[in-house]
A and B are shown apart, each in its own frame.
Chain A
Amino acid sequence: DQQVKQNSPSLSVQEGRISILNCDYTNSMFDYFLWYKKYPAEGPTFLISISSIKDKNEDGRFTVFLNKSAKHLSLHIVPSQPGDSAVYFCAASDSGYSTLTFGKGTMLLVSP
């Protein structure tokens, strides 16, 4: 039973355009969500997070939107750059000392 789903295994975008990566979750207890980026041969690196008390969080070119009623979040990258090409993982957790549940990832390719 996959509690965090990233239904698009890959996404191709042109440089300068917007990249939108989507994530759906099923566990209504999740209240904290994160995005990680992973380059080949490296561990994932934290990108941005959002708490369930918010519906939007921005950090530079990266914005995460949370729609609690739809149990959906998305990561927007504007403008996309070739260096953004990586695998993006969505992760979720509930309050307290619980675990992080990751999606399977979406590979983003930004072409010049």
Chain B
Amino acid sequence: KAGVTQTPRYLIKTRGQQVTLSCSPISGHRSVSWYQQTPGQGLQFLFEYFSETQRNKGNFPGRFSGRQFSNSRSEMNVSTLELGDSALYLCASSWNRVQDTQYFGPGTRLTVL
């Protein structure tokens, strides 16, 4: 069974630009969660989608948004990038609930210059 894939793996943007990251979950998984990992803050929850609906949202500004498609693939978008958005963005999928084992992708390393 193929794992969670994320594209692109690395991205360099400049302040003010916007970026879209993509995540393909494990086949059959309907829940997709996004996390931001920074050295000082660890993994912080961004949002979770289930059946194309945002089911949970973390404490991030509105510049961070996401969506999920009917095939469970998910995208997250960050608009008006700031230097502090530089981080590893991780996507995780699970069958139904977040308590079900979450399988993480390798992440997208975003650098904002």
Contact = CB atoms under 8 A, between A and B. Distances in A.
A97 B56 contact: yes
A32 interface: yes
Interface in B93-109: 97-99, 101-107
B48 interface: yes
Summarize A's interface: helix, strand, loop or mixed: loop
Contacts of B4: 43
A53 B85 CA distance: 39
A102 B56 CA distance: 15
Q: How large is the interface on A (under 10, 10 to 19, 20 to 34, 35 or more residues)?
A: 20 to 34
A17 B56 CA distance: 41
B42 A99 contact: no
A43 B98 contact: no
Contacts of B92: 43-44
Nearest to A96: B97
A57 B104 CA distance: 23
Contact of A100 (B40, B55, B102, B103): B102
Contacts of B97: 96-97
A101 interface: yes
A46 B99 CA distance: 11
Interface string A79-112: 0000000000101010011111111110000000
A93 B99 contact: yes
B42 A104 contact: yes
27 contacts: A32-B99, A36-B104, A43-B90, A43-B106, A45-B104, A46-B101, A46-B102, A49-B101, A89-B42, A93-B98, A93-B99, A97-B50, A99-B33, A99-B45, A99-B48, A99-B56, A99-B58, A99-B98, A100-B33, A100-B45, A100-B102, A102-B35, A102-B44, A103-B42, A104-B40, A104-B42, A105-B43
Interface of B: 4, 33, 35, 40-45, 48, 50, 55-56, 58, 90, 92, 97-99, 101-107
Closest 6 CB pairs of A and B: A43-B104, A104-B42, A102-B43, A99-B45, A46-B101, A44-B104
Given A46-B103, A100-B98, 4 more contacts: A89-B43, A91-B43, A102-B45, A104-B40
